[in-house]
Amino acid sequence: MEEGIQKGRFIMISRRKFALIVSAIVLFSVLAGGTIGLFAQSRSFDQINFQLRIFTTAFKQVLDRYVTAPDPQKLIYGAIKGMMETLDPHSVFMDAKTFRDLKSSTQGSFGGIGIQIGVRDEVLTVIAPMAGTPASRMGIQAGDRILKIEGKSTKGITSDEAVGKLRGEPGSNVTITIEREGVSELMDYTITRALIEIESIPYYGFIADKIGYVWLANFSQKSGPDLTRALQDLEKQGMKQLILDLRSNPGGLLHEAVEVSSNFLDNGSLVVFTRGRLKESDQDYKASGKVLFGSNKGPVVVLVNQGSASASEIVAGALQDWDRALVLGQTSFGKGSVQNVMPLGDSIAIKLTTAKYYTPSGRCIHRDNSAWQSGETDSLEVDTTTATREVHTTLGGLKRKVYGGGGITPDIKVDLPRLTRFQMDLERKTIFFKFAIKYAVGHSDLPKDLKADEAMVEEFVKLLKEDKIEYTPEEYKESKDYIKQGIKRELLSKLYGDKARTAYLLQNDAQAQKAVELLQKNKDLSKLLKEGQNGK
């Protein structure tokens, strides 16, 4: 602070220059909302003019009387930032650095830790870790609350500001302090940044006989073409049923969500529509193109969880509304608002919420903060009691009940088991990863069907002692199977790559295996969907 004052210099502003600044403020106020006339739909011109006079008076008083001469640009930027903060967590002011970061992220690669974040109940929250990234490997989970970045509180931070702090040069470290539901103490994670290159489909293959599986991790410019290739390849190999995994998919490009949905829905079917304050915000988006796995093909199960957001919710909602797929898992995140980036010159911009997404049946995907149940349930879990939810009807002919009120409610809810304190410690300290690196040095010939035997476990226990991992005999006993699974998964990743790791994880995935069970039992789509309705 002292350094800033020392560098400050007294700034004399003439009445003419001040008038120009005030005119710019008024002009911005008009342009940001469209026109004063549009504002007047809810407030009179006199009211708005009165409020602007209050602002310009305050601005002049600060310029004239503050103890040191302030920078007018900083005052204006601060005022715009404060204005945006009164709206919603997704509407933000972007300074030159933040605006550059946004542009670079749309190009498909950046230096970071690999998480999608947002503000929930005024707390910076992990929406989802990205597959194969440092954050994912260290065990960061959807719903984790980031209370500090490099020891500094995140209270009041915007998601864009947090992104700026988390990104950096590959190879550099950043420390975040996590609060996790069900864990009493805070946890520090020191994560080494890497070049994050987003892979749209990290894995696809067969999870059971004639049941294909596609893991769609995000929505980028490659999502539509990548899914087309995956579906064509699986069908050539005899696929009759499909599991589309959208869990922890933070979303991405809208037109890719429409293209992905078009693989399953008849041409002309409504995929999503947006509604906002201005007529130009009202848009309908419909399926078009070649239908690769339409209603004449086999049943589809879509997997979602609390980390499924935005574009992934659009796809899940569309396929559910048109009776094309059964949705299984946990209620999705509820990020269903539309943001437009509006440049304010060459280097700065505002990102403004202009509309909300609705599924074909009319369900609003977005969940307002007031809908979250703080302290009563998981940070990303909401009340799904049907008695309190909006009821809509599917459009595909079965007239099933689907529920609105924010997020996509699954037809069949399947929760995953919680990790114990000891198990979370193993993940956040990357003990399995460290063990695989050391053990693979002398055992590079291990087969893909390897088993974590007692000799491996003994070596693993030695590493626990070396790294001073604390645990009780009871914690070790109840985690023995988990340890064996962790050893195998990381050895497979080290020796055979992430695809082998994913294939193994699916064998022990409660949600994926429930989907397999339902598909094996119900070869007919209508029977599958009716079972889902009964399973609510």
> Are the C-beta atoms of 293 and 525 separated by less than 8 Å?
no
Which residues are catalytic, by number? Answer: 310, 321, 335
Rounded to an integer, what distance in angstroms lies between the CA atom of residue 362 and that of residue 11? 55
β 194-197/187-192 pair status: unpaired
Q: Encoding tokens for residue 339?
A: 């943001």
Rounded to 10 degrees, the C-alpha dihedral 492/493/497/503 comes to: 70
For residue 39, the SS3 value is: helix
For residue 265, the SS3 value is: coil
For residue 190, the SS3 value is: strand
**Other C-beta atoms lying within 10 Å of the C-beta of residue 54:** 10
> Are the C-beta atoms of 292 and 350 separated by less than 8 Å?
no
Rounded to an integer, what distance in angstroms lies between the CA atom of residue 319 and that of residue 180? 32
Query: 406: closest CA among 423, 381, 431?
Result: 381
Query: 165: closest CA among 246, 78, 101, 212?
Result: 101
Backbone φ and ψ for 351, nearest 5 degrees, come out as -110, 115
Q: Encoding tokens for residue 379?
A: 């940070």
> Are the C-beta atoms of 110 and 198 separated by less than 8 Å?
no
> Are the C-beta atoms of 406 and 367 separated by less than 8 Å?
yes
> Are the C-beta atoms of 246 and 310 separated by less than 8 Å?
no
| Cα angle value 8/13/17 (rounded, 5°) | 130
* Amino acid type, 465: K
